[in-house]
Homo-oligomer: A and B are copies of this chain.
Amino acid sequence: MAKRVEGVTEKLLECAREEFLEKGYENASLRTIAQRAGSSKGAIYIRYPDKASLFSALVDEAANGIALLLKKIQEEFTELPGEVQADRVQQMSDEGISIFIDYIYKHFVEFKLLCCSSEPGFYSNFIHRLVNIDVDTTMRFIGNSSNNAVSSGRLTPNFAHLLSESFYTGMFEIVVHDMPREEGDIYIRRLRKFFAAGWMTILNDEESAG
């Protein structure tokens, strides 16, 4: 039984990465990828059923990984006693955010591909997975608490969705702009403060407060 030549898959993925980064998903050419890798188009099709799958192979692990990570962080928040949850505006702890940023920088190229080189819709799908996790936790948290943000209409699910999306899009600016780690750290932490402050204006019942 013929075996896959060792290293071919890796070489193909590496060259695919370069090609996608340089030209974007649509304009990347499988022919060129195969050539760069010193391999053949057929070799790609043995491994991946089509162009989209090849792209996914480069990106899925990181995309799944960060979604899982976020889920875990959020679950840790959910498991906190109610009183502690109520004291926090951000669902990610300081430690949680650190791990999150770590993860992004550890898979920087993959997220670069996702942010800058994927087919239209692919990136937003990715963001939405994160957003859904985030919003789930948020809505559950508010539902469990006595906060009237939802019941008062200050917060709709759709609205929560958009705020979250804005936050995560903001986060991935560090990738889009190739921000060095240190700068990214500072930037994301400030972003959290931004959004913490923002959430305050929603969670707090200003009307009745005024």
Q: Which residues of A contact B (CB under 8 A)?
A: 2, 24, 26-27, 42, 116-117, 120, 124, 156, 158-159, 161-163, 165-166, 169-170, 173-174, 176-177, 179, 183, 186-187, 190-191, 193-195, 197-198, 200-202
Given A124-B176, A162-B173, output 8 extra A-B contacts at Cβ < 8 Å.
A2-B42, A156-B183, A158-B179, A162-B177, A166-B170, A169-B169, A194-B194, A197-B201
Alpha-carbon distance A173/B202, docked complex (angstroms)? 18
A88 CB → nearest B CB, Å: 16
Alpha-carbon distance A195/B183, docked complex (angstroms)? 19
Protomer copies: 4
Across the interface, do A158 and B183 meet the contact criterion of CB distance under 8 Å?
yes
Top 3 closest pairs, chain A to chain B, by CB: A197-B197, A194-B198, A166-B170
Across the interface, do A120 and B170 meet the contact criterion of CB distance under 8 Å?
no
Q: List 30 A-B contacts (CB under 8 A).
A: A24-B120, A26-B27, A116-B120, A156-B183, A158-B177, A158-B179, A159-B183, A161-B177, A162-B173, A162-B174, A162-B177, A163-B194, A165-B173, A166-B169, A166-B170, A166-B173, A169-B169, A170-B170, A190-B201, A190-B202, A191-B198, A193-B198, A193-B201, A194-B195, A194-B197, A194-B201, A195-B198, A197-B197, A197-B198, A198-B198
